[in-house]
Structure 1
Amino acid sequence: MKKVRIREILDFLKEKGDYPFVFTGSLEGTIEGFSSLINYKDKTMTWIKSNQAVYDKRRRIALCIVQEGVSFEAEAMIVTPASKAVFFALLEEFYGNQEDGSRIGIGTYIGERVRLGENVRIGNNCSISGEISIGDRTRIANNVVISNRVTIGSGCEIQSLTVIGEDGYGYSEDENHKKTMIRHYGGVQIGNDVFIGSHVNIARGTIDDTVIGDGVKIAPTTHIGHNNRIGRDASVICSQLFGSVNIGENAYVTSSVVRNQCKIGNNAVVGMGSVVTKDVENGITVIGVPAKKMEKR
């Protein structure tokens, strides 16, 4: 890995100005890459977030990003209340993947009505067609399908094998139980700074749009059904949301199934393995099958 002077690291953090920090040690030091604390490699940068961290205390640490309040010793330290954010900002700046210069990947189809913002990058073998708008600095990986009517904000990341804007699952049924699939006519609205993991499906609305708010983070293998509304800064992790689900702001839903028409309140938490069949109030935690309020013991 390339060598980086500690002085360069501090200059970057000062220029960025997002994180308060205090530095101790020599400005003339140099690091040669990064490593985890438990598997520390000589002359690298590492990170500690807790006094409970397990590591070899005999090792000489060249540079450590230290969470404020944690007791630690290293040749050079950057102490900050945002150690995780600082560490990964440094990795991205000095060791992040280098772009190959291609804005649009090989085998990718971009329809005539698609509008791309500045510095948008799209990977290989994607299909983007319909009334599509993609905001500045959004990154789309390989084998992604975006179709029909979709608006994506700025600074988003969409990982490989995700599908956005296809019809959801809905049908009409006659007296003989013959089912006829219903075409969808809504779209998908995705805000700014949204992360969408791999193998995610976001269905278009039947009439009104499916809406994903600013700052939402969606983990791989999640299904977002038609007419869903996901509030600002919510996290949806490896879950299945059926039609017309409403997730509140800063809610946290992990590895769960949410019944159609259910509402998850602001700042609510749905624990792992839950099946939600009723509305969840603001600020409470539910878990189980069916999901019930977690009582303090």
Structure 2
Amino acid sequence: MYTVRQIADALGVEAQGELDLCILRAAEPQDAGPDDLAMATSPKYADGLAAGGARVALLWEGADWQALGLKAAIFATRPRMAMSGVTVLLDQGQGFSTGIHPSAVIDPAAKLADDVSVGPMTVIAAGAKIGKGSVIGPHCFIGMDVELGPEAQLREMVSIGARAKIGARFRAQPGARIGGDGFFFVTPPGSGAGNVRKTLGDQGDAKPQSWLRIHSLGAITIGDDVEIGCNCTIDNGTIRDTEIGSGTKLDNLVHVGHNTRIGRDCLLCGQSGISGSVDIGNNVVLGGQCGVGDNLFVGDGAIAAGGSKILSNVPAGRVVMGYPAVKMETHTDMYKVQRRLPRLMRDLDALKKAVFK
């Protein structure tokens, strides 16, 4: 529970009205009750405030809070930034118990720093090092010689493979798998897939044959303040480590292939897939369901719209879209032309008929 004054002070923003009113929860305007903070961060939410019962709201700058029937208001210069701060304050957590649960299996050779909590049925292998203040949820697995930095938060059923090195304040959502073997196989003679890669279509005289495993000798290196979504999969490197830079965030169901290097403060949205040996720069954004072919480079600050399939290198700062991904303005022009095709075909048919007559 926080007062309006405490919330405003924590956000570093202005508040007006009855600043000692207490807030229990955040809510959407139409659903808010008298103890809720209504998140009405733009004028389009004003009607929702009238439908709800909030006494206090997070409002856009310049809003007439008294005309909206409120007893107090907090004003947000940047609403989404303010929302971030509010959610930090009001997050009630997952309710994991503190301390080491008696059903957890912790190897005697593992080292846990102060204030580490380990949930039920979790396994921590020999040589693992868990940083101070970390919370390991139930049914997690932390492999041999893993190094996990301070203040990590692992939700239920997170799995981290051997020798991974992870920085401070790491967050992993349920079902994330860090450090599976890379999808790396080879055939004794050249394969049809390999020939197609070279010729862009011709399989040559390759015969059907079995695939031989190439083992993953590398591991995973992850920087500070990285967050991994539900059911993400990050493959070990083949020889060197797969790397994810500090501040990078992965949404649910993102796959990162072996040997890939991802820079700092990148954002990879849901169901994106990164092939092996890709080099992604800093501050790159990949929209949902993007794909990146193997051995490619994506430069600093590049942005790929949702559904884009990147099949060639992307220079720094470029915005791309489509399959194959091209400059967004080029894709837009191509799409406009594509939509005109039925009309162009009708015009062509009319011209053909006129010529034949």
What is the TM-score normalised by the length of structure 2? 0.75
Q: Do residues 77 (structure 1) and 91 (structure 2) align? A: no
Q: Do residues 273 (structure 1) and 307 (structure 2) align? A: yes
Superposed CA offset, 1:248-270 (max 9, x none): 21111022111001111211111
Gaps of 5+ in 2: 100-116, 190-206, 334-357
The 1:269–1:119 alpha-carbon spacing in structure 2 relative to 1, beyond 3 Å, is: same
**Structure 2 CA distance for aligned equivalents of residues 184 and 55 of structure 1:** 57
Q: Which residue of 2 aligns with 1:291?
A: 325
Contact kept in structure 2, 1:20 and 1:80, CA below 8 Å: no
1:124 deviates by 1.3
- Match of 2:143, SS? strand
Query: One-letter code of the match for 1:256?
Result: C
Query: One-letter code of the match for 1:51?
Result: P
Residue 218 of structure 2, aligned match among 176, 186, 193: 186
Range with greater deviation from structure 2 (97-106 or 258-267): 97-106
Contact kept in structure 1, 2:246 and 2:265, CA below 8 Å: yes
Q: Which residue of 1 aligns with 2:14?
A: 22
Superposed CA offset, 1:3-44 (max 9, x none): 543244345x1xxxxx43111112232334321124333341
What is the TM-score normalised by the length of structure 1? 0.89
- Match of 1:34, SS? strand
1:89 deviates by 2.8
Superposed CA offset, 1:229-284 (max 9, x none): 11111001120100011222111102211100111121111111111101111112
1:135 deviates by 0.5
Contact kept in structure 2, 1:47 and 1:84, CA below 8 Å: no
Q: How does 1:6-155 map to 2 (within 5 A)?
A: 6-11=4-9, 13=10, 19-53=11-45, 55-56=47-48, 58=50, 61-67=54-60, 69=61, 71-73=63-65, 74-97=70-93, 98-102=95-99, 103-155=117-169
Q: How does 1:151-162 map to 2 (within 5 A)?
A: 151-162=165-176
Give the RMSD, CA atoms, in angstroms. Answer: 2.1
- Match of 1:66, SS? strand
Superposed CA offset, 1:135-180 (max 9, x none): 0001011112211220111111101111111210111211253311
Q: Do residues 259 (structure 1) and 293 (structure 2) align? A: yes
Gaps of 5+ in 1: 14-18
Which structure's relative contact order is higher, taking Cα pairs within 8 Å and 6+ residues apart?
Answer: 1
Contact kept in structure 1, 2:30 and 2:50, CA below 8 Å: no
How many residues get paired? 288
- Match of 1:58, SS? helix
Structure that is richer in helix per residue: 2
Query: One-letter code of the match for 2:279?
Result: N
Q: Which entry has the higher C-alpha Rg, 1 or 2?
A: 2
Superposed CA offset, 1:55-111 (max 9, x none): 3353564222234x4635242122232333333433432442244224111111101
Q: Which residue of 1 aligns with 2:281?
A: 248
Structure that is richer in strand per residue: 1
% same residue: 26
